[in-house]
Amino acid sequence: MAISALQKERAKYAPKLPKSLKGGVKVVEGAATKSIADQEEIKKLFPNTYGMPLLTIESGSATTYPALNVGVILSGGQAPGGHNVISGIFDGLKALNAGSKLYGFLGGPSGLVEHQYIELTASIIDEYRNTGGFDIIGSGRTKLEETAQYDKGVEVCNKLGIKALVIIGGDDSNTNACVLAEYYKQNNTGIQVIGCPKTIDGDLKNEMIETSFGFDTACKVYSELIGNIQRDANSAKKYWHFIKLMGRSASHIGLECVLQTQANICIISEEVEQKKQTLDEVVTYIAEIVAKRAANNENFGTALIPEGLIEFIPSLKVLISELNDTLAEKAAKFNAIEAESEKISFVASILSADSAKAFKSLPTNIQAQLLADRDPHGNVQVSKIETEKLLIEMVADKLKIWKSEGKFKGKFNAQNHFFGYEGRCADP
């Protein structure tokens, strides 16, 4: 395959490594670990793996290691840097013993269960170094939660001589890894399970993990796009740009992007929840800033909106929870209704008084999105709710009232954007 001059240069780049990973290494066993909270409950759930010691990798003398076969799985959504994690595993294995092998399971955890895999060789690895995406072996969202799945995994690992399985994923995927590790330990399979923290959302961290890989690159990509829009807004001077940012339930991406771009407005979902703000209070906050800029003849700006905001507004959080339960209970009757308007009326009639009031206060298109297809667990797919459009519409309505009252003398024209997939597979 012919590659460009830029690709050739990128392929030459070697990420910096800590001294402990250069040359010989040794593993130092530390104190027993424990969960931050609910220690006894978690210990009961994971009796074989809870409290394992903290391991530290340090520089050591060169040692001869036996050949080791390892499997790797990419799980969940993409994040910049995934290919380099796999490249690093490959390089590390080969450096310790050239006879070691790395197997990649195709399409995520389902590849382990369905025995779909390839051996990752130097020629394959070298095509993907320093590139974004997860296309080297593909990813997937299959949950490992049944004994039959665990046993199928053992079967293929034994067939390939795999003694360690690396699962690269986010919080759900690492929960899968924990459950799998517990089962493999309980049944003395001799297979290690290692979880590698991956998520652009930035919500998988502790005192030992400063941030998961992917977050930094994704935020830089989004910030560049936001900066381009800001320059355009300052040039045209006639549009407010409402930009929804990926991040699922966490607002880390929004916060990092506003720090990098100094956008006019950034809503932080966790702050909204802490202050117990209503949707109207969030709308009023935005409208006041729009009005203040308009008074300075600045009828333009940028507002950053976290993807999961709607779940953090107390009244809407209750509404969403009630919708999940209600639609599960009344699924047959709900699905039998064809007209969208009738579905909306039906749901409004069976909600509690407070939730019905919150539901009716929303624009029709948002009501429809809240009633759209659920995820595999029966929950509202929050990422598909056009929160930025909801806020644009409600801010416009509020400004219209203020204009009639003489409180707002400017213009409000808005554009909406959603930045998500643009950053997940960027070059790291």
Instruction: Report the amino acid identity of residue 267.
Output: I
Tell whether 178 and 69 lie within a shared domain: yes
Quick check: 213 pLDDT over 70? yes
pLDDT digits (tens, 9 = 90+) for 73-109: 999 999 999 999 999 999 999 988 999 999 999 999 9
Does 271 lie in the same domain as 180? no
Do 248 and 184 share a structural domain? Answer: no
Over residues 282-297, the pLDDT tens digits come to 999 999 999 999 999 9
Q: Indicate the Cα dihedral angle 277, 281, 282, 288, nearest 10°.
A: -140
For 236-263, the pLDDT digits (tens) are 999 999 999 999 889 999 999 999 999 9
- Count of domains observed in the chain: 2
Mean of the pLDDT values across residues 263-292? 97
- The domain in which residue 119 lies consists of 64-198
Q: Average pLDDT over the chain, rounded to whole? A: 93
Same domain membership, residue 372 and residue 228: yes
Answer with the one of 132, 166, 198 that is the final residue of a domain: 198
What pLDDT, on the 0 to 100 scale, is given for residue 210? 87
Do both 126 and 252 map to the same domain? Answer: no
- pLDDT-derived band at 376, boundaries 50, 70, 90: low
Q: CATH number of the domain that 175 lies in?
A: 3.40.50.450
Q: Residue 381 falls within a domain, yes or no?
A: yes
Residue 374, in any domain of the structure: yes
Q: Following DSSP, what letter does each residue of 239-298 receive, concatenated?
A: -EEEEEE--TT--HHHHHHHHHH--SEE--HHHHHHTT--HHHHHHHHHHHHHHHHTTT-
**Which whole number is the average pLDDT over 366-395?**
84
Specify the pTM.
Answer: 0.91
φ, ψ at 241 (rounded to 5°): -110, 115
Burial class (CB in 10 A: 0-12, 13-18, 19+), 78: buried
Backbone angles phi, psi at 309, to 5 degrees: -50, -45
Residue 377 confidence (pLDDT): 62
| 362 part of a folded domain | yes
Residue with tokens 């519409």: 393
pLDDT tier at 112 (50, 70, 90 boundaries)? very high
Q: Would you say residue 33 has pLDDT above 90?
A: yes
Together in a domain, 180 and 252:
no
Q: Which residues are catalytically annotated? A: 201
- Same domain flag for 85 and 165: yes
- Judged against a pLDDT cut of 80, whether residue 375 lies above it is answered with no
If asked whether residues 118 and 228 sit together in one domain, one would say: no
Asked whether residue 286 is domain-assigned, the answer is yes
Cα(367)–Cα(385) distance, integer angstroms: 9
154 and 100 housed in the same domain: yes
Q: What CATH number should be reported for the domain holding residue 394?
A: 3.40.50.460
3-state secondary structure of 333: helix
Of residues 270, 260, 305, 261, the one with CA closest to residue 395: 305
User: Sign of the C-alpha dihedral, residues 11, 14, 15, 20?
Assistant: positive
Mean pLDDT lowest among 198-207, 240-249, 308-317, 369-378: 369-378
- Same-domain check for residues 229 and 345: yes
Of 278, 302, 254, 274, the residue nearest 361 (C-alpha):
278
Please identify, among 171, 198, 225, the residue that sits at the C-terminal boundary of a domain: 198
Give the tens place of pLDDT for each residue, 336-348: 998 999 999 999 9
Residues 251 and 382 in one domain: yes
226 in the same domain as 184: no
